[in-house]
A and B are shown apart, each in its own frame.
Chain A
Amino acid sequence: MSERENILGRIREALKVSAPLPGTHGEPVATHTVAESPTSHAREWLPLVGPSVEAQFDLFARNCADLKAGFQLLANRDELKATLAKIATAEKWSRIASHDGELSHFASQSLGLPVLLTDKGYDVQALEKCDAAITECDALIAQTGGVVVTSRSTGGRALTILPPHHVVVARREQLVADLPAAFALLQKKYAPDYPSMISFITGPSRTGDIERILVLGAHGPKKLTILCF
């Protein structure tokens, strides 16, 4: 017998005796059928998010401030271009990385710097030397101040984690209210053929491993900037 069969066999044997329901301290119950998923009401328990788009952007901005992520709500593409240029000058960027995509293309080309595109494969050392990554995202989440990226839509796995500054360019419509909405969106967009990596990024990389004091940029980007118009 294979180990798989051994383990599954032991599981089936063990499950012949039923267990008490959680939170009851009770006697074993014979059968329990879950009519609907217990988490289907998650929205009613998670932190509150206001109904209007303005309230949601407010919340997103407050969450970003707490997380020490940069966030700017801009009027149009011209402002996006100007803001990027300002950051690039201030941080003396000399090369950047990005990926295929209408918006990421516009943003990365606007700077007139050499751009490494990761989509078709790339040299890791070259990516490591880039000053920033400019990427799109799948969603912004008001409830958490987070962004969602994937290996298919935002240039692979390393682009959004290796360079020291990650700049996300997004459109206003990409804001979703809460986590359940973000998962529903991913399901609708991709199921059943999901990208091999989906990452919920909530603020720049951090650690508290030394005396529980917050330090940004442990391994991933020290800075995360979200520019939305």
Chain B
Amino acid sequence: MSTFVSDFKERAAEKTGDLRLRQFIRTALRGYEVSRDKRKGAFQSWESARQAAAETKWEAINHLDTHLESLVAKLEARGTKVHWASNAQQAREIILKIVTDKKARSIIKSKAMTSEEIHLNHALEEKGFTVIESDLGEFIVQLRHEAPYHIVFPSMHLTRDEIRDLFQKELGDAPSNSPEDLTMVARRVMRQKYIQADIGFTGGNFAIAETGMISITENEGNARLTAALPKTMITLMGIEKVLPRFSDLALFLPMLATAGAGQPMTCYNTMYSGPRQAGEADGPEEWHVVLLDNRRTELLADAEQRDSLSCIRCGACLNVCPIFRNVGGHTYGTTYSGPVGSVITPHLRGLQDWKHLSNASSLCGACTEACPVKIDLHHHLLQNRRNASASQPSFFERLAYKLFGIVANEPRFWWLAKKIGWLTQPLQHAIKSSALDPAKAWTKTRDLPPQPRESFKDWWRNRK
């Protein structure tokens, strides 16, 4: 078993045993579901909106080259510097070079999963730069030296008491455990950091090919400040973020807010089309946009699963996933967790190492149903299973199915197997989940249903 699998199993066993945490997460996500359903209900037709969103992203992804060229030409025309990075290493080097050239000391960041993907903070800190996460949830997990628990709600696993203790220890300032007080501590700490920071770093939610804009969605106003005060701004974004038209945002912004957080609109949706322009009061003098591939083109090459590049990172599939709810975000050990993470991680980091994620699913399909851009998530999990066993078949599995095939195809063998099963099942109770039990891994947490006395065939034959 690879260490990725055993780590996953170990963490999953630990987290599913933590009943307090599970209850806590369940309560939070139930609150989300109520508000999401209310907001979905306000749409005249959520289903038509989903289909249109899926088609729009389909168009964007299936003409990615032309859209990217248009985006970049428009951005460059207004003085933005665009960089292309094939992998994480190149992206880190590009960003480190900008920061070094600017003789920067401190960098203020607003939330960007792409920066987690390339482990940017670590690379910057190693070179002696100070990096401050300004999104409250990210700030909290940064203080804990931890990865975000959830792509939208990074600190959802922590209680107010834990956060108070953390602030007391790290900042020496925590008047009480009230979320209001704690938020104000972070606000105070951050204000001066904004004014002092040399570089503002952001991610991007949508990139508009038609007008050359990058749209950033946030609730706190930290990305707005990040893009307003520092002299240099850097935006790191995956190449798949494009949308063809400016007006597409009229649909995508409320859909992202509804699916992601049960809000009608996120508080700030801001479109940037350049650094400070002539006649404008403020804004960065320089804006660098780094476009990241990092194996997204490999996902693109898999036509069957290409639609997973449509993901707008709303987090809806995580919120409804029974596996995510119970094993939690950190168990995955990936940048993107939950159903979408299980689908794309094998493409981004290697199928054989990460195929176990496709099995960590009940295939209930809740993710596919929740996805605002209709990504066929649970079918992709099945396809990953198929691909993994096709490229590296397991000897025992093949043997088992071969034997099963022989037995099931021959009525006499089948009859014999039934009889043996009927006779030996009582013995199974005696050895259940002990070392003697060949199906221990399975029976440890499950009961085998008793085999009925009469098979369907017998019943059919004997019926009156």
Contacts and interface: CB of A to CB of B under 8 A. Distances in A.
Interface of A: 2-4, 6-8, 10-15, 17-23, 25, 28, 32, 34, 37-42, 44-48, 63, 66, 99, 118-122, 124-125, 128, 144-146, 151-152, 155-162, 178-180, 182-184, 186-187, 191-192, 194-213, 215, 217-221
A122 B254 CA distance: 34
Interface string B299-343: 011011011001000000000000000000000000000000000
B222 A218 contact: yes
Nearest to B83: A3
Nearest to A8: B65
Contacts of B195: 124-125, 128
A201 to B, nearest CB: 6
B219 A180 contact: no
B65 A218 contact: no
A191 B275 CA distance: 17
19 contacts: A3-B90, A7-B86, A34-B55, A37-B248, A38-B52, A39-B53, A44-B45, A45-B43, A45-B52, A46-B44, A156-B228, A157-B280, A161-B228, A162-B225, A194-B273, A197-B270, A199-B269, A207-B183, A211-B160
A150 B252 CA distance: 20
Contact of B254 (A11, A157, A179, A215): A179
Contacts of A218: 136, 183, 186-187, 219-222
B239 interface: yes
Given A3-B86, A15-B300, A37-B244, A22 B54 contact: yes
A3 B269 contact: no
B283 A19 contact: no
Nearest to A200: B269
Contacts of A209: 135-137, 140, 153-156, 183
A22 B86 contact: no
Contacts of A157: 224, 227-228, 280-283
Given A161-B228, A200-B269, A210-B179, A144 B65 contact: no
Contacts of A19: 58, 61-62, 303-304, 306-307
B225 A11 contact: no
A37 to B, nearest CB: 6
B275 A11 contact: no
B31 A212 contact: yes
Contact of A201 (B54, B155, B268): B268
B267 interface: yes
A120 B281 contact: yes
Q: Give the interface centre of A12, A205, A218 by most chain B CB atoms within 10 Å.
A: A218
Nearest to B226: A219
B64 A203 contact: no
Given A28-B303, A207-B183, A39 B250 contact: yes
Nearest to A156: B281
